[in-house]
Structure 1
Amino acid sequence: MTEHIITSNVSSLTSSDGHLTELDPFDLTDCAGDFAGDFDMDAANGDYYESCCEALAAVRPEWSLLKNAEVVGPVDSPDLSEDERETLGELFDTIDVTAILQRHTI
């Protein structure tokens, strides 16, 4: 099976605007704010990335989320339906960033 890039930025999957950002979508440093030094940010970012991978797999198990935020999948993959976009957005929104950070308190 041949794979291709579905999108170059995972954030475009949940927005009808397809807003792209140059920022790392898996970096929780801004969420931690002034307290970022209190956490193992590499581990927290890794856990957040894994949670995003699980969310994507729940909607499209044949797609893969790469660390650079690209989503790849089979060449013949249809685009996400509006319902799938909404579900994926909801799954991303339910990821408990606070709990992830707390697990990685230094």
Structure 2
Amino acid sequence: MPPESPSRATDRLDDDDYPAYTMGRAAEMIGATPGFLRAIGEARLITPLRSEGGHRRYSRYQLRIAARARELVDAGTPIDAACRIVILEDQLEEALRLNEELRRPAAGRGDPDS
């Protein structure tokens, strides 16, 4: 496979979902241990992608999710409960975003009543 062009590789650095971080670097960035990342992976909070060599890789979005779980665990919440809370928070945020999108004026959406 030919190497990516430098501009395409740089574009990926701006992608929140690009799995750019190794387990060690990800753990360091959120102040956790690799074991914590494995535990939230086992709890299905995040699913890291795997490199060709089988190593876990994390995206910035996944690191934000992991950091929130770590906050809850540090506050005394059991890890399974923390994962469930983070999932529910994420679902609520998405529902609120969608609700706001649907409440916008219909102009531009092809609605004949607008």
TM, length-normalised to structure 2 = 0.28
TM, length-normalised to structure 1 = 0.29
Structure having the higher strand fraction is 1
Structure having the higher helix fraction is 2
The one of the two structures with greater contact order (alpha-carbon pairs below 8 A, sep at least 6) is: 1
